Amino acid sequence: MKIIENKTKWFSISAIIIVLGLVLAIINGMNFGIDFTGGSLMEIELHQQIEVAEIREIINQYDTNANISLLGPDRTIVQIRTINDFDSQVRAEIFNQFKEKYDLPENEPLRAEQFGPAIGKEIQNRAFLSMIISAIGMLIYITFRFELRFGLAAIAALLHDILVVVAVYSIFRIPVNSPFVAAMLTILGYSINDTIVVFDRIRENLKTMKKSNFAQVANDSITQTITRSINTSLTTLVTIVALYILGVEQIREFALPLIAGVLSGTYSSIFIAAPVWVMLKEKQNRKFVYKPNHE
């Protein structure tokens, strides 16, 4: 297979998706959940479809900028989202207004969440920090077991996968909230795992390599491991797709980026990680050739 030779094509495909996601993110903004921005969210089952304007009358007493949407199969669940910090007192007040007006049998909302503005930042920072440290840890291990260039290429593939999934979040306007962090973590695990197996084969083939044709070694190694890459992503996808089809709204919002992540992880282990490794390797080789001339 001529994977390495066509690397410009593969890189371009990824770049298009990532840039599209970024551009849309700049135009529309990301659909940040309240756990990232701080604020409050309530979901109340009204048992009937009510006009948003009617609901707004109640909400306007508390926040005129609140975001109101109708959810559920029959659109009978009202979701109120605001960047204001409604404590449990205010939330109870709002709920009771709905309860009285629409004669609700329940005693509390389906879901109520409130995040102080500092918390969202903190969750992001911590998640970000732990991902960076994980990446460094993995880089050290790969350098120790393989070589630094394998590690760098693996991290490049990982970065690619994360950017692709962020782009998917932006393109499909998936809410960025706590499950976003879990999705990112899953992709981190999957991406590296997928890449290492390809690299393991390259490492093995390097031993029997005759000339220093890194592109050839990479191509051969990919050909030898491609069945495995496809079978593994297929079996992983099956479970996630089942979750996406059968799951509730919250699970679906979570499954979609995972599907993107698994696809991207498989793609990057073949079309990003290996070509990047070859590029790094060839650059290193050139250096070795030129060095004696300089001295």
Partner 1 sequence: MKFKNAIIFLVIIAVVAMAGFTALNGLQIGETTIRPIKEAVNQGLDLKGGVYVVYEAETDATSDELNQIISQTIEVFRRRVDAMGLTEPLVIKEGDNRIRVELPGVENAQEALDMIGRTAQLQFITIDGDVVLTGSNVKKADVTFVQGEANPVVSLEFDSEGTKSFADATAEYIGQPIFIVLDEEIISSPNVKNVIANGQGHISGDFTVESASQLAALIRGGALPVNLKEVQTSTITATLGVNALERSITAATIGFLLVLLFMLVYYRIPGFVANIALTIYILLVLGILVALNATLTLPGIAALILSVGMAVDANVIIFERLKEELRAGKTVRSAIESGFKRATRAILDSNITTLIAGVVLYQFGTGPIRGFAITLIIGILVSMFTAIIITKFLLKLIVGMDFTKNSKLFGA
Radius of gyration of the chain (CA): 25
8 A C-beta contact, residue 70 and residue 76: yes
The torsion angle over the Cα atoms of residues 168, 174, 176 and 179, rounded to 10 degrees, is -90
Smallest distance from partner 1 to CB 243, Å: 4
d(CA 161, CA 188): 8
Smallest distance from partner 1 to CB 47, Å: 13
Q: Which is nearer to partner 1, 73 or 292 (CB)?
A: 73
Query: CB within 8 A of 105, min separation 6: which ones?
Result: 47
d(CA 273, CA 209): 20
Q: Which is nearer to partner 1, 7 or 178 (CB)?
A: 178
Smallest distance from partner 1 to CB 183, Å: 7
Q: Which is nearer to partner 1, 55 or 184 (CB)?
A: 184
d(CA 17, CA 23): 10
Smallest distance from partner 1 to CB 248, Å: 5
For tokens 């309530």, name the residue: 42
Q: Which is nearer to partner 1, 11 or 67 (CB)?
A: 67
Q: Select from 244, 105, 92 the least CA-distant residue to 179.
A: 244
Kind and range of the H or E element at 63?
A: none
Q: Which is nearer to partner 1, 111 or 286 (CB)?
A: 111
Smallest distance from partner 1 to CB 284, Å: 22
Smallest distance from partner 1 to CB 250, Å: 6
Q: Which is nearer to partner 1, 27 or 118 (CB)?
A: 118
